[in-house]
Amino acid sequence: MADASMNFREDRKGRLKWNEQLDILRLAPKDKRRLVRMMASDVRKDARQNIRQQKTVSGAPMAPRKDARNKRKLLRRMGKPMVVFNKSNHEAVVSFKGRAGSIASKHQHGSSERMTATKAAKRAGTPDYNALANRDQAKSLIAEGYRLPVKGKRGRTKLKRVSQKWIRENMTIGQAGLILRLLRDDKGKQSWTITTPARPFLGADERDAQQMLDSLARTSLARLRAKGAR
């Protein structure tokens, strides 16, 4: 699956009552188009709510980040590029604009990617190692327990705590990166695996999928009937 898209067709009627199925079959093409779009729009609304509440479609909390120190919400800004469009009078899709589809898919289904130093450098570009250390490096150094060696009165070396501000004003990107690798006992490994756990926020789990589609079809059909009665 290239992205986290979800398709809806007017003929996915499941266990709808016979009269409800007949009502769908009798719909004009433009109303069938509207029906599947309504279903897809409701799923998009639920998915956006799942992102806000940081929950999966089953109601469970999303798998946390590997770095517990990172408190930022998962899938931030992913609700906006989530779009609904009709592929035909019979089918609508919930999908994502641009690169967001690839990111959404990794979280929706989970992924495992083999990364190499060469690939990482190509993605990030070559940094200016002589530029001052950045905020992320400063935070990481503090978290890893970095202390600045300083000479005391009797020539003895002491380890002194420093602030993020001090690191950003006194270390270069190259120096901060080298110290981080040493603190983490990372000798510049050339390949590693990046694993993203599944955080299904769009759609429904297999057990509830048909029930959800039935409910969506009934609700959307009721809306169409109400509009027609006006």
pLDDT of the residue at 16: 57
Separation of alpha carbons 116 and 54, rounded Å: 31
Would you write out the chain's pLDDT as a tens digit for each of its 230 residues?
445 676 766 555 455 554 555 566 677 888 888 888 888 888 899 999 999 999 998 899 999 988 777 788 999 989 999 999 988 887 888 999 988 999 999 999 999 888 776 676 676 567 788 999 998 899 889 988 999 988 877 778 888 999 999 999 999 999 998 888 888 776 556 676 888 999 999 986 555 556 666 666 677 777 767 776 55
Separation of alpha carbons 33 and 27, rounded Å: 9
pTM of the model: 0.63
Q: How far, in Å, are 131, 172, 173, 175 from residue 128 at the CA level?
A: 5, 9, 7, 11
